[in-house]
Amino acid sequence: MAAPTIGIHDICFATTGYVLDLAELAGHRGVPVQKYQRGLGQDSMSVPAEDEDIVTLAAAAAAPILATHGHDEIRTVLVATETGVDQSKAAGLYLLSLLDLPSSIRVVELKQACYSGTAAIQFAAAMVAREPGSRVLVIATDIARYDLDTAAEATQGAAAVAMLISADPAMLQLSPISGVYARDISDFWRPNHRSTPVVAGKESIAAYHDAVAGAWRDFHARGGRKFGDFAAHCYHQPFTQMAVKAHRELTRLFAAGAESEAAVLAGTLYNRKIGNCYTASCYLGLVSLLDHSGDLSGCPVAVVSYGSGCVAEVLELYPVPGYRARLRTELHRRTMTERTTVSYAEYRHLWNIQPPTDGSDYLLPDQRSGPFRLAAISGNRRIYERRRNAGSTKKSA
Ligand code: COA
């Protein structure tokens, strides 16, 4: 019996309720705005409200998928994040209540900097291969937060991308061939005592270049198709210009003479307005590519994942004929445009708010109109709620 094709059956993203125009940040930092817009390739960044976190973002990204497909076949929830809200409990467990998920399900959280969403997809694909009638809900969700008044500040952002992994996927088939690379370095990391990462910015760029080249070499060694044969390339984007730089360097190494920046740009359009979203970044790039391109049915698309520390992986995906009818482009556009623009002062205020670190109870103000919110911390427990206007996650007829 032939093995079933496996891949992404549905995909949706969510971001925060607030956004900061980087022209505001540039003005206050005394930096020409072109440095952010052209040098980094970033126009604005999503800013979390006080009552938003990776769980509310994850729930908001997954809810439309569950409303369409229900949860009957979902046997596993994998949440990939480096913005964990607890050292022990998996963030995905909060989704059981928020999204009415059944109890006959396994739930776990994965961490490896910005890479673990890709690991989650690979683990999910292996689970589906073993039990082809089952599905896995993968959610990459992160809030990229750097210290104020640093070079990295302009590369903050936040988003979650939810993906339903299944056999005979309706949107993207995942090739069994991938290329991987790992190395033990310290280019970006967040020790337990810190709420922001330690970053060696320039070293992290060099490490990214080396790692993705290593992953492509492995991909080719395993029989993967040539770099130049891909119709489009989606990259992990700590800032969108990183994708352009990486693509140039990889083209030089593997497809000299084949200038193809157009193959990258459609996959950067959401990212340049949302900012970095760590684990979700290359999948936000994938959604951006699909939402902003013509018909890519049957064309090979590369997803290039990188997580500091470091791990890189190249995936090969094929959009399935008919996928465009299933895109959530209109919802995604609304998600972007319905964000409320905050001033520099409001952004700084939000950034500086820290929930108590001594375990005392804390009520969060109701700040935005997203479907889910963190309402309180009480007795050391995080109390989430679904807003009344939040629609059902029960399968629509
Ligand atoms: N107009 C246009 N471009 C400008 C400019 C201007 N006025 N001023 C500067 N630039 C360009 C620079 O030339 C540079 O581009 P280049 O690398 O193509 O030459 C780019 O803007 C960034 O400026 P630079 O001064 O080199 O870097 P920085 O000190 O602002 O730091 C990062 C940039 C990415 C290192 C920093 O934001 C960071 O640490 N980010 C977090 C870590 C990260 O994202 N790592 C990536 C791999 S995971």
Residue located nearest, by CA, to atom 12 of ligand 1: 39
Structure tokens at 156: 């903050």
User: Ligand 1 in contact with 324 (CB < 6 A)?
Assistant: no
- The SS3 assignment for 103 reads coil
Residue located nearest, by CA, to atom 11 of ligand 1: 39
Find the Cα–Cα–Cα–Cα dihedral 162, 168, 172, 177, rounded to 10°: 110
User: Ligand 1 in contact with 155 (CB < 6 A)?
Assistant: yes
- The catalytically annotated residue of 52, 82, 313, 316 is 82
Structure tokens at 218: 């492995």
Residue range 280-301: mean pLDDT, rounded: 98
> How far does the centroid of ligand 1 lie from the alpha carbon of residue 304, in Å?
21
pLDDT of residue 354: 84
Q: 306-355: per-residue pLDDT in tens?
A: 999 999 999 999 999 999 999 999 999 999 999 999 999 999 999 999 88
Known catalytic residue: 338? no
Structure tokens at 42: 């970033």
User: Ligand 1 in contact with 39 (CB < 6 A)?
Assistant: yes
- The SS3 assignment for 45 reads strand
Question: Cα(201)–Cα(147) distance, rounded to whole angstroms?
Answer: 13
290 and 170 Cβ atoms separated by less than 8 Å: no
> How far does the centroid of ligand 1 lie from the alpha carbon of residue 37, in Å?
11
Q: From 36, 150, 155, give the residue whose CB has the most ligand 1 atoms within 8 Å, as the site to mutate.
A: 155
Residue located nearest, by CA, to atom 15 of ligand 1: 39
Q: How close are the terminal C-alpha atoms of the chain, in Å?
A: 33
User: Ligand 1 in contact with 35 (CB < 6 A)?
Assistant: yes
Residue 338 carries which DSSP code?
T
Find the Cα–Cα–Cα–Cα dihedral 25, 30, 34, 40, rounded to 10°: -60
Residue 376, amino acid = A
Residue 86: closest CA among 386, 355, 367, 393: 355
Read out DSSP for 270-287? THHHHB--GGGHHHHHHH
pLDDT of residue 390: 62
Q: Locate tokens 């070293």: which residue? A: 203
pLDDT of residue 136: 98
User: Ligand 1 in contact with 335 (CB < 6 A)?
Assistant: no
Structure tokens at 133: 């009638």
Share the mean pLDDT of the chain. Answer: 95
User: Ligand 1 in contact with 308 (CB < 6 A)?
Assistant: yes
Question: Cα(58)–Cα(160) distance, rounded to whole angstroms?
Answer: 5
Residue 328: closest CA among 137, 62, 96, 136: 62
Q: From 40, 210, 242, give the residue whose CB has the most ligand 1 atoms within 8 Å, as the site to mutate.
A: 40
pLDDT of residue 396: 43
Phi, psi of 342 (to 5 degrees): -105, 155
- The SS3 assignment for 83 reads coil
**Closest ligand 1 atom to Cα of 204:** 47
- Residue 182 pLDDT > 60, yes or no? yes
- Residue 395 pLDDT > 70, yes or no? no
Read out DSSP for 126-173? HHHHHSTT-EEEEEEEEEE---TTSGGGGG-EEEEEEEEEEES-SSEE
**Closest ligand 1 atom to Cα of 308:** 48
- The catalytically annotated residue of 236, 282, 313, 332 is 236
**CA angle 333–171–71, rounded 5-degree value:** 85
- The SS3 assignment for 246 reads helix
- Residue 389 pLDDT > 70, yes or no? no
Question: Cα(145)–Cα(46) distance, rounded to whole angstroms?
Answer: 11
Residue range 221-230: mean pLDDT, rounded: 96
Which residues have CB under 8 Å from 34's CB, separation 6+?
none
pLDDT of residue 291: 98
Known catalytic residue: 82? yes
Residue range 369-382: mean pLDDT, rounded: 93
32 and 196 Cβ atoms separated by less than 8 Å: no
Residue range 260-276: mean pLDDT, rounded: 94
Structure tokens at 26: 């540039």
Q: 184-208: per-residue pLDDT in tens?
A: 999 999 999 999 999 999 999 999 9
User: Ligand 1 in contact with 198 (CB < 6 A)?
Assistant: no
- Residue 258 pLDDT > 70, yes or no? yes
Question: Cα(116)–Cα(263) distance, rounded to whole angstroms?
Answer: 24
Residue 176, amino acid = P
- The catalytically annotated residue of 9, 52, 109, 114 is 114
Question: Cα(337)–Cα(341) distance, rounded to whole angstroms?
Answer: 10
- Residue 264 pLDDT > 50, yes or no? yes
- Percentage with pLDDT > 70 across the chain: 97
Question: Cα(339)–Cα(14) distance, rounded to whole angstroms?
Answer: 11
pLDDT of residue 3: 72
Read out DSSP for 4-26? PPEEEEEEEEEE-SEEEEHHHHH
Residue located nearest, by CA, to atom 40 of ligand 1: 152
**Closest ligand 1 atom to Cα of 32:** 7
Known catalytic residue: 236? yes
pLDDT of residue 397: 35
Phi, psi of 318 (to 5 degrees): -125, 115
pLDDT confidence bin for 244, thresholds 50/70/90: very high
pLDDT of residue 235: 98
Q: Is the pTM of this model over 0.75?
A: yes
